Amino acid sequence: MINRYSRQIMRDVWSDQSKYAIWFEIEMLAHEAMESIGLIESGLTKKIRDKLNNITFDVGRISEIESKTHHDVIAFLTFISEKIGEREARYLHQGMTSSDILDTCLCIQLKKSSYLIREDLTALLKELSKKAEEYKYLPTIGRSHGIHAEPTTVGLKFAQAYAEFDRALKRMEIAEKEISICSLSGSVGTFANIDPRIEKYVANKLSLNIETISTQIIPRDRFAYFFASLGVLAGSIERISTEIRHLQRTEVDEMSEQFQEGQKGSSSMPHKRNPVLTENLTGIARLIRGAVTPALENISLWHERDISHSSVERVIGPDTTILMDFALSRLTNVIKNIVVNKKNIKVNLDKLNGLIYSQRILLLLTQKGVSREDGYDMVQKNAAKSWDKQSDFKKIILSDKGIMEILTKEEVDSLFSLEYHLKNVDYIFDNVFGE
């Protein structure tokens, strides 16, 4: 992933140094396990660890070896042998396959990535909660199909986003458990050449669960679930980004990204303030979702294993998690610094001259004995007049003899109430933020 869309903390999880350190630890823990159950001589693990204490893995040398072996794990093991000597290295990788190392390592990297993503989500939820509370009762127009519908509040918009990302956090917790797996079962997963106790020992030391049954590789449905969870989360990022982008349009101008001092909009039009951050997040979300289908297709492999999944995971593992970490951090800053235009929110709320209260008139007519069909026609006819002439809807209703034979002026006046639409805001907030 390019540095432009990444943060160092997540890049470090996927660095070659990190990968080789994990491989080494898996190998050494397996070596230690063999020693603990009497399969190899006592003290040999310590000798190896002492020789390689604080080692920096020579990526160039390992790559050089791999150019000859055409096998990354063998190249790594050869490098270790060069450092400690062939005799002391002879028990490394006993009974294991490259899949044991690669899959367990991938699980560790995804687990570390998931931890960072959950931290990101927690930070985002904090900012969404603050904005929801700040604008809890600020009325704004709700839109259906992009058309003015009925009043809601700005706080409810943020509360909805909070609930959505809170669900995402719970899904990530489950997804993390799905991939927190250690599998050291050897060729075709039968433990023929490796004692099952070794797997249990390593898993315990690495705070992983063991795979119930492996076919030499960890079943790919686990990874598919993880990447699918990231895909859903990406969809939520795009949803709120799209909302902000729409609200920042000149014709709406209710909410916008912070425009910082010294920031430039258009290269040609100095007046412009573009929603570049949320547009960027929209694109990143599409990239992340693009990983879901290949992850799903990885589930179906030949017999006990093949490596058609490998090239996919070498790309989507780092790229999607790095992008997700970046996206959540960027979105958190967008929400933290969001600009809410209260003046224009009021202008837009009043823009349709009271048409947003049409449903209340319809409902009261039905409560007075009018059929729904007749009531709808009566209200719609007057709504069309108000829309076409841009005139006051309440005045038009009050001048309709048919309606005023059924309703009183006091009843009509009471229907044009903004407070009516906000009466259950506290109830919704309790649902979202309550214990």
Burial zone of 122 (CB within 10 Å; 0-12 exposed, 13-18 middle, 19+ buried) = middle
Q: Is the CB of residue 284 less than 8 Å from the CB of residue 326?
A: yes
Of the candidates 161, 121, 120, 324, the residue with the CA atom closest to the CA atom of residue 230? 324
- The residues annotated with a catalytic role in the active site are 145, 266
Q: Is the CB of residue 175 less than 8 Å from the CB of residue 114?
A: yes
Torsion, CA 18, CA 24, CA 30, CA 32, rounded to 10: -110
For residue 254, the Cα-to-chain-centroid distance in whole angstroms is: 26
Please tell me the distance from the alpha carbon of residue 66 to that of residue 62, in angstroms, as a whole number.
Answer: 6
Q: Which two tokens stand for residue 230?
A: 């990231």
Give 89-113 as a DSSP string: TTTTTTT--HHHHHHHHHHHHHHHH
Q: Is the CB of residue 298 less than 8 Å from the CB of residue 223?
A: yes
Of the candidates 394, 236, 428, 418, the residue with the CA atom closest to the CA atom of residue 345? 418
Determine the Cα angle at 329 with ends 104 and 102, to 5°.
Answer: 10
For residue 81, the Cα-to-chain-centroid distance in whole angstroms is: 42
Of the candidates 277, 258, 265, the residue with the CA atom closest to the CA atom of residue 338? 258
Residues 6+ away with beta carbon under 8 Å from 413: 394
Of the candidates 25, 76, 31, the residue with the CA atom closest to the CA atom of residue 195? 31
Of the candidates 433, 368, 415, the residue with the CA atom closest to the CA atom of residue 161? 433
